[in-house]
């Protein structure tokens, strides 16, 4: 794994990168960076990803280049480090299954969700440690 943090607009990353962010199982995506993901990737059909079942907390759903990490049940809830870790593991599995070698993301779970970046960064590094995946964290 190659891990980099840089000041850059996430949505200007080359098309070879999949972009990751956190959402709730109700897929409201009405605040924070999720609004930009919803508009940029036209993520309206996301609620129907799991055969009309609710999205599963701790799971990652790929739509186009967007990796949607479900870290909480409702948009007004807060994730835990456990649910975030489960979703990151699910994202790693998708990357390995689909041959994704480049990821870009904001400081996931740390904006409106209030998790601490230091801990989240260590989770990401631990989960992806044995992979060849390049991860770029974009901050503005």
The catalytic residue positions are 72, 113
Alpha-carbon distance of 80 to 46, in angstroms, equals 22
Helices 117-128 and 81-98, axial angle in degrees (round to 10): 30
Per-residue burial over 75-91, b = 16 or more CB atoms within 10 Å of its CB, e = otherwise: beeebbeebbbbbbbbb
Determine the Cα–Cα distance for residues 31 and 15; give it in Å rounded to an integer: 24
Please report the beta strands in the chain, taking only residues with DSSP state E, as ranges in sequence order.
2-7, 18-24, 60-63, 66-72, 102-105, 134-139
What is the pairing mode between strands 102-105 and 66-72?
A: unpaired
């Amino acid at each position: 794994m190659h891990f980099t943090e840089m000041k850059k607009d996430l949505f200007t990353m080359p098309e070879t990168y999949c972009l990751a962010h956190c959402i709730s199982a109700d897929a409201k995506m009405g605040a924070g960076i999720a609004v930009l993901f919803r508009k940029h990737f036209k993520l309206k059909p996301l609620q129907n990803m799991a055969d009309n079942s609710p999205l599963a907390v701790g799971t990652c759903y790929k739509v186009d280049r967007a990796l949607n990490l479900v870290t909480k049940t409702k948009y007004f809830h807060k994730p835990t480090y456990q649910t975030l870790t489960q979703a990151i593991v699910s994202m790693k599995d998708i990357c390995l299954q689909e041959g994704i070698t480049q990821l870009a993301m904001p400081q996931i779970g740390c904006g409106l969700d209030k998790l601490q970046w230091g801990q989240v960064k260590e989770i990401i590094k631990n989960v992806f440690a044995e992979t060849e995946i390049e991860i770029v964290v974009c901050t503005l």
